[in-house]
Structure 1
Amino acid sequence: MISDPPPGATAISTAATIVIVGAGQAGGWAARTLRSEGFAGRLVLIGDEAHPPYERPPLSKAVLAGEAAPASTWLHKPEAFEALRMEWWVDTRVARIDRGAKCLEMSDGERLSYDKLILCTGGKARVLAVPGADTTPSHTLRTIGDALSLAPELQPGRSIVIVGGGWIGLEVAATARRKGADVTVVEAQSRLCERTVPPEISEHLLGLHGAHGTRVMLGARITGIAQGADGKSVVTLADGSTLACHAIVAGVGLVPNDALARDAGLACDGGVIVDRSCRTSDPDIFAAGDVAVAPNPWAGRRLRLESWQNAQDQGIAAARAALGLAVDYAPLPWFWSDQYGMNLQICGIPLPSHRVVARGTPCEDSFLLCYLDGDVVQAAIGANAARDLRFARRLIEQRRQVDPDRLADLGVPMAKQ
């Protein structure tokens, strides 16, 4: 929850300069919020891409499928973006933060002073680190450019090997199969999305992809890639077997872009460490989005949340905090994925110790699984069950006790729990 300004709080001077490094969704929302909260000073948004702030979820779906233009992902319409009255430094890389002088140095040597700095530097797709990776072409999916580069490969008669059975890998697989490509997913773990969902959801995802013709190889580790004589790429597995394909896609996670912060001496641990006000170890520097590691009371530890919702909400929170407003950002983790017409949503953090109460079963098109600690719902996962999940979220936030038998009864609406 973001609170109101504390009594007696003073607005930041109109002579002040606020700089946002990173023009993704978090950076775009931070800029928008600064203006909507009345900041009239100099506002600079620095991005290393040629695109204005945009949303990433459509990249693995509609944009990759060629069903939506890249501009459809833009966070602001052109007129709204212009109305923000800010300087947009496009295709620009920040090389160094001089905290003592409160100044940024660009890669071309240009310097820019700031009064408050918001880091929304996000992350970069992790690349394959196996023999041959530096000489054999492969794709990742993080940017508009990545989606446009991969899209031509997704057509009938083309074969795709996706390394990694996490969310990006599975979403790309679903889009590729819809476009008619042959798809093999190679996952080193024993189940899909093992780090983020319980076994019952992994099994559901496995069945879903299998039903749509995707070959999924679990417990399979790649040891090398190479360019074949016929123009295809060859993926070698630890058991000695090989897979020939027209394109390789690496869906093996995200590396937070925290080097700029680390080099400046800011506290980092797998991302930039912030407090619940989005403030870093420097009181004049804030961070938000995929790069920020923040305390989360729902998890009982610090988390770096990679989600559309967090990028938006934490960008808003960081902007308000930079203006001196009282902020207590403690989000209930929420994530969603669309695959083959299935909308899967995860609210909270399901744990192995939780009791699972099912409304429907994962073999059905629509179901809701609630994860209880005692009689209190701590997390919920729903497939094509957005309405029920809204009520489950309310139960989680209220920490209210429920009757597990009543919760499982489909005759009792979630609204009546």
Structure 2
Amino acid sequence: MGTGTAGTAEGGGRERPIVIVGASLGGAKAAEALRAAGHQGGIVLIGEEHERPYERPPLSKGYLLGTTPREKIYVHPPQWYGENDITLRLGTPVVAIDPAGHTVTLADDGQVEYAKLLLTTGSVPRRLPVPGEEQDGVLYLRRVEDSERIKEVLRPGARIAVIGAGWIGLEVAAAARAAGAEVTVLEAAELPLLRVLGREVAQVFADLHRDHGVDLRFGVQVAELTGTGGTVSGVRLGDGTTVAADAVVVGIGISPATGLAEAAGLEVDNGVKTDQHLRTSDPDVYAAGDAANAFHPLFGKHIRVEHWANAVNQPQTAARAMLGQPDAVYDRVPYFFSDQYDLGMEYVGYAEPGGYDRVVFRGDPATREFIAFWLADGRVLAGMNVNVWDVTDPIRELVRSGRAVDPKALADPGVPLGEL
């Protein structure tokens, strides 16, 4: 199903369209950006899901909590695509890309020609490699129907085991507790989000969830998902203990969806590798969002960011680049956010594990109202504001400037961030 029309081969006998593979937030934003930039030619947006493009953050936040209605998750209203002359093909997996022939092949053997191609294929959840993973009641979160399945099991008294204490796992745990479920979080590391935030800040999230009644178990290995009659009933750990569970939510990370790109001969390395214009190793193929490992001129390296802001902003650069605008460069400072219980946070910057030498706090982490800064040689690599608002712009400027700052002044709430 879809909006607009498309034959077996698009573009025959007329100018080839720009084709976007991945009817995601990134794909929809790219189509919007192309029209905003004045592109008058055809745009074909192809997605394997039957839902029109929607945003994913609500799936583990407001939509899962039941506070965000379904109609609010969509990027555009259904009529928007037709009104903007965008051919939207849903429920239509792309199975191959032919860069030489400038065509994509669909699962029904149809072909779509393209002048330029943008890949917004996103990512896929990593599967749990243990026996029993295939049972009913073992849930992953990526699509709207996944969120709905999880929502169904979040009820008072239900025993929910969450495997993985990353952002998705913790947000699901918070939603489960809000629904009155009993929650156990199982994590191989010593603390939640340890690799992302480091020990000092990770402890804040451990304390937060314990204060809300979550049973956190760190340094554990999952050996098997037990069950009866094909339905999960528990998680057996490496030490032989079993955690009883009515449902198991697995959140152990995602992998970029690069299969199409790799089969087409594009350069792939932790994502589809692109330059700062989001152009891949083929000059007529671009990539954006979770799937793109893009060269970032501010950091002088390729980075892949798995967050909402990239899916919103990278397609704007890709659209302008596909239209031949040489100044289209993606150099935004990475940003993401999370909401858990009464804690809201925003993170700006890029601090790799082991890439910083100290963490400076402005405010007391114990109060859950503070800003944390990750520094290397006195330079601010990233900052995270927790229940402190309207500070992302000065934090972003500190990151972008690359200048050394006085850690004492950074920690002093009396010194405006804009004066550092």
TM-score normalised to the size of structure 2? 0.92
SS, match of residue 75 in structure 2:
coil
Aligned to 1:335: 336
User: Per the alignment, do residues 381 and 308 of structure 1 end up closer, same or farther by CA in structure 2, a change over 3 Å counting?
Assistant: same
- After superposition, give the CA deviation of every residue in 1:260-292 in whole Å (9 maximum; x if it has no partner): 111111110121111111111110100000001
**Does the CA-based 8 Å contact 1:298-1:349 persist in structure 2?**
no
Identity %: 39
Following superposition, the deviation at residue 230 of structure 1 comes to 11
User: Per the alignment, do residues 213 and 299 of structure 1 end up closer, same or farther by CA in structure 2, a change over 3 Å counting?
Assistant: farther
1:413 aligns with 2:394: no
Show structure 2 runs of 5+ residues with no match.
1-13
Aligned to 2:376: 373
User: Per the alignment, do residues 371 and 270 of structure 1 end up closer, same or farther by CA in structure 2, a change over 3 Å counting?
Assistant: closer
**Residues in 1 aligned to 2:34 and 2:297: alpha-carbon distance in whole angstroms:** 27
Q: Match for 1:338: what amino acid?
A: D
**Does the CA-based 8 Å contact 1:166-1:252 persist in structure 2?**
yes
Aligned to 1:107: 107
SS, match of residue 81 in structure 2:
helix
Following superposition, the deviation at residue 136 of structure 1 comes to 4.7
Following superposition, the deviation at residue 310 of structure 1 comes to 0.7
Aligned to 1:209: 209
Following superposition, the deviation at residue 296 of structure 1 comes to 2.5
- After superposition, give the CA deviation of every residue in 1:18-77 in whole Å (9 maximum; x if it has no partner): 000001111011000011111111110001111111111111111112222222111113
1:261-280 equivalent positions in 2, closer than 5 A: 261-280=261-280
**Does the CA-based 8 Å contact 1:367-1:385 persist in structure 2?**
yes
Following superposition, the deviation at residue 103 of structure 1 comes to 0.9
Aligned residues: 404
**Residues in 2 aligned to 1:319 and 1:232: alpha-carbon distance in whole angstroms:** 45
Aligned to 2:385: 382
**Residues in 2 aligned to 1:242 and 1:263: alpha-carbon distance in whole angstroms:** 42
**Residues in 2 aligned to 1:32 and 1:159: alpha-carbon distance in whole angstroms:** 43
1:219-230 equivalent positions in 2, closer than 5 A: 219-228=219-228
Following superposition, the deviation at residue 297 of structure 1 comes to 4.0
**Does the CA-based 8 Å contact 2:137-2:248 persist in structure 1?**
yes
SS, match of residue 363 in structure 1:
helix
Following superposition, the deviation at residue 411 of structure 1 comes to 2.1
Aligned to 1:292: 292
**Does the CA-based 8 Å contact 1:366-1:385 persist in structure 2?**
yes
SS, match of residue 196 in structure 1:
helix
User: Per the alignment, do residues 138 and 401 of structure 1 end up closer, same or farther by CA in structure 2, a change over 3 Å counting?
Assistant: same
User: Per the alignment, do residues 405 and 225 of structure 1 end up closer, same or farther by CA in structure 2, a change over 3 Å counting?
Assistant: same
Q: Which moved more, 1:295-304 or 1:275-284?
A: 295-304
User: Whose relative contact order is higher, 1 or 2, with alpha carbons under 8 Å and at least 6 apart?
Assistant: 1
Aligned to 1:160: 160
User: Per the alignment, do residues 125 and 232 of structure 1 end up closer, same or farther by CA in structure 2, a change over 3 Å counting?
Assistant: closer
SS, match of residue 194 in structure 2:
coil
Following superposition, the deviation at residue 407 of structure 1 comes to 2.2
**Residues in 2 aligned to 1:122 and 1:110: alpha-carbon distance in whole angstroms:** 23
User: Per the alignment, do residues 223 and 82 of structure 1 end up closer, same or farther by CA in structure 2, a change over 3 Å counting?
Assistant: same
**Residues in 1 aligned to 2:294 and 2:358: alpha-carbon distance in whole angstroms:** 27
Aligned to 1:303: 303
TM-score normalised to the size of structure 1? 0.93
Q: CA RMSD in A?
A: 1.8
- After superposition, give the CA deviation of every residue in 1:91-145 in whole Å (9 maximum; x if it has no partner): 0000111222111111111111111110000011112110111245411111111
**Residues in 1 aligned to 2:133 and 2:409: alpha-carbon distance in whole angstroms:** 54
Aligned to 1:320: 320
SS, match of residue 266 in structure 1:
coil
Q: Match for 1:58: what amino acid?
A: P
Following superposition, the deviation at residue 259 of structure 1 comes to 0.4
Following superposition, the deviation at residue 195 of structure 1 comes to 2.2
Show structure 1 runs of 5+ residues with no match.
1-13
User: Per the alignment, do residues 134 and 30 of structure 1 end up closer, same or farther by CA in structure 2, a change over 3 Å counting?
Assistant: same
Q: Match for 1:341: what amino acid?
A: D
SS, match of residue 369 in structure 1:
strand
**Does the CA-based 8 Å contact 2:136-2:230 persist in structure 1?**
no
